[in-house]
Structures are given as C-alpha cells and as structure tokens.
Amino acid sequence: MTWTPERENQLRELWTAGLSASRIAAELGGTTRNAVIGKAHRLGLSGRASRKGGGKSSGGMRLVSRVSSPRPPRAQIRPRYIEPVERSATAVSLEELSEKQCKWPLGDPRTREFHFCGGARAEGMSYCDYHCAVAYQVPSRREESAPAERPASDAANW
C-alpha cells in the first residue's frame, strides 16, 4: 500500500476525529494499525479528539494534545552523565588493545580519556577476573531458595 495524498488526507481526517489506529487501518483498507501510527507520527499528527467521560458520549468532543512541544533533534538530546575514571597502569586505548587484554570499557567514550582496562584476560572470557565478577553474576539456584519438603496437605492442593 502506498500513501497517496488522498489517503494522507483521509488519515488526517480520521485521526483528528478520534478514531483508533486499528479503526483507521480498517477504513483505509490495505494497511495495518502500525503503519497508520507511523504515518501519523511522520505527518506530525499529535492532537487526537477524544470523548469526555471515558468513551461515553457527553455531547461534545475535545482535542487532547499528546505532545506539548515537538521533540528536539537528536543532536540536542543530552546523554546521561558518565563519571570520569582514572587511568590504571594497565589501561589501553582501542588501538592498543590486544586479544589477551581485558576489554572492559572505562570512562566516557566521547572523550580522549576513554580507555579499556587492559589487564590480563581470564581464560575464555573477554574481561579480567575482577571485571568478570562484575559482569557475570550467578543466579541463585532454585533448590536453595525452595523449601526442602512440602507438607502432605499442600501436596494434595497442587
């Protein structure tokens, strides 16, 4: 299915009227709910008409804005803060990193101070013993957390 200008106008009208994406897809024919949602998003259709009172007719429609303002471009989104990490004696850059060294990343990759642990890699692993202990945690065994025996009265209820 292609989005012709006529179909886009029909989508705009149905979207503004408050129809669900599934209903719009059925009205348009030859498309899916997800395609309708995607196209509505690309067209910038943020407002939806909805009935007051949770679906019961109360005599009027109102426009509800889902987004108060347009989303800023990705370049303006600020990443979470990454705590700086001091370089150890074994620290190496990506270019210096060898197959036998710990590949645990340290610091902010957007800075020149970013590096890898570079310690001796544990056999068969990507990290040193210390970073393996941080990365790989053994889940508790089911047998250890379950009661040893169930009373006979409980067994009948299972």
The three-point CA angle 62-65-68 to 5° equals 150
What is the sign, positive or negative, of the torsion defined by CA atoms of 122, 135, 91, 95?
A: positive
Q: Is the pLDDT of residue 155 over 50?
A: no
pLDDT of residue 149: 55
User: Do 122 and 132 form a contact (C-beta atoms < 8 A)?
Assistant: yes
Decide if pLDDT at 11 tops 80: yes
pLDDT in tens, 20-70: 889 999 999 888 999 988 898 888 887 665 554 444 444 445 555 454 555
Residue 150 pLDDT = 47
- Alpha helix positions (H), the chain: 5-16, 21-28, 33-43, 129-135, 142-145, 152-157
SS3 47: strand
Indicate whether 126 pLDDT > 50. Answer: yes
Determine the pLDDT at residue 152. 52
Confidence band of 121 (pLDDT split at 50, 70, 90) = very high
Q: In which band, very low, low, confident or very high, does the pLDDT at 2 lie, cut at 50, 70 and 90?
A: confident
Beta bridge partners of 120: 101
The residues, any chain, with a CB within 8 Å of residue 117's CB and separated by 6 or more, are 88, 90, 91, 101, 102, 103, 104, 106, 127, 128, 131
Q: How far apart are CA 71 and CA 134, in angstroms?
A: 36
- Domain spans, the chain: 5-51, 82-137
What predicted TM-score, i.e. pTM, was given to this entire model? 0.37
